[in-house]
Amino acid sequence: MKTIDDIDFSNKKALIRVDFNVPLNSEFEVTDTNRIEAAKPSILKVLEDGGSAILMSHLGRPKGKVSQDLSLKHICETVSEIIGVEVKFVDDCVGERAEEAVKELENGEVLLLENLRFHAEEEQGDENFAKALSRLGDIYVNDAFGTAHRAHASTTIVAKYFPENKCFGYLLAKEIEAIEKVMRTGEKPITAILGGAKVSSKITIIENILSKVDHLIIGGGMTYTFVKAMGGKVGASICEDDKMQLALEILEKAKKEGVEVHLPVDVLAADSFSNDAQTQTVSVSSIPDNWQGLDAGPETLKIFKEVILASKTILWNGPVGVFEMENFAKGTIAVGNFIEEATKNGAFSLVGGGDSVAAVKQFGFEDKVSYVSTGGGAMLESLEGKTLPGIAAISEA
């Protein structure tokens, strides 16, 4: 794996694909700077070597049309503050103005290009557009894991114009290493905690990781499809009746692979989907009619704790309850605490994919686990065993 550490950027212009698709408020201020901070080490490495950095990113979904609301000029000041270097801006990402701005760039300087997606050719993976981008740099660095699963011009196609001079940035390299630890090189026992609402959205992940893990903890809304398939009564809980057969097949396959599956034994049930609902703790297979399971129960959490604390490698993808509502967040917070404790004891813990990342941030576990992935869709596709085009483009000679 060729990383940014393998290259000397002295007197070179580095064309870096970053993921600055950050949220902005109505005043066009950045409300979450995580993605910018994540790109900082790679940018600084280029500058410290004595090179210059040309940053390219998308923002939002302008669908090939110029939109002032989605201009990257709004984030220029924030990027400058975070990196500690005044960032220049050019109002296009290809063509004469962009090329002129690059030509004027001195060593130690940073230039931010305008939103790539103002050009429809970016998402189309257009060869000519990629070639025009390639003219802007001597070396191509991909540091945008969040878009590595897309075969877009700036994430994949452009790499072919840098056959010898392309590499992964620090962030992308870290993401690849974290996934490798879970999927290939992790110390056993390996535990995957899969939560979230639907079995259907996790089928390919479950099927791909069964041959790699020792324990599979299933939580959240997915639970009830498994429980009902096994003959339990789930009341009004979310359930995919058309996936019950699949749930039984997953349990059978796990058995064959020697994977221990841990389903909840009790749940906190509510008489309506509301934070103010009446609640009771009941057996997971005896939820009363018109009641629904919205969080893991105390006995379940004892079982989960034991498994997690005995693990050496942990993947967490999806909450175990409706954590957005305070009264049903206890299970997800408890799982976060167990993973924190296991990590302190030397386990490697990776949190990835949508809601579990949101939960980790909301409850302050971000610095208490080994790694929090920056890419939702890209992380999920990696766990499904897919080769991401943005990673393949760098790995291939």
8 is in an annotated binding site: no
321 is in an annotated binding site: no
Structural domain includes residue 66: yes
135 is in an annotated binding site: no
The catalytic residue positions are 35, 198, 354, 377
Max Cα-Cα span within the chain? 71
Structural domain includes residue 389: no
State residue 20's pLDDT score.
96
243 is in an annotated binding site: no
Mean predicted confidence (pLDDT) in 262-282: 98
Q: What is the DSSP string of 295-333?
A: EE-HHHHHHHHHHHHT-SEEEEES-SS-TTSGGG-HHHH
Structural domain includes residue 181: no
Please tell me the total count of domains within the chain: 2
128 is in an annotated binding site: no
Judgement on whether residues 133 and 267 belong to the same structural domain of the protein: no
Band of residue 310 on the pLDDT scale cut at 50, 70, 90? very high
pTM, rounded to two decimals: 0.87
pLDDT, tens digit, 9 for 90 and up, residues 187-239: 999 999 999 888 888 888 898 999 999 999 999 999 999 999 999 999 999 99
Mean predicted confidence (pLDDT) in 367-379: 87
Structural domain includes residue 397: no
Judgement on whether residues 44 and 157 belong to the same structural domain of the protein: yes
Task: Write out the residue range of the structural domain in which residue 336 sits.
Answer: 186-383
Judgement on whether residues 330 and 259 belong to the same structural domain of the protein: yes
By the 8 A CB rule, do 107 and 9 touch? no
Structural domain includes residue 394: no
Percentage of the chain surpassing pLDDT 90? 85
Structural domain includes residue 393: no
Judgement on whether residues 72 and 137 belong to the same structural domain of the protein: yes
By the 8 A CB rule, do 56 and 154 touch? yes
With H, G, I as helix, E, B as strand and everything else as coil, classify residue 165. Answer: coil
* Beta strands 266-270; 292-296: pairing state: antiparallel
Judgement on whether residues 164 and 206 belong to the same structural domain of the protein: no
Q: What is the CATH number of the domain that holds 85?
A: 3.40.50.1260
Judgement on whether residues 250 and 351 belong to the same structural domain of the protein: yes
State residue 385's pLDDT score.
84
State residue 203's pLDDT score.
87
Judgement on whether residues 295 and 153 belong to the same structural domain of the protein: no
Mean predicted confidence (pLDDT) in 371-380: 82
Total residue count of the chain as it appears in this document? 397
**Domain endpoint, select from 147, 173, 199:** 173
Judgement on whether residues 196 and 86 belong to the same structural domain of the protein: no
Give me the helix-helix angle, 376-383 and 170-180, nearest 10°.
30
d(CA 267, CA 375): 31
Phi-psi region for residue 354, left (φ > 0), alpha (ψ -120 to 50) or beta?
A: left
64 is in an annotated binding site: no
pLDDT, tens digit, 9 for 90 and up, residues 339-348: 999 999 999 9
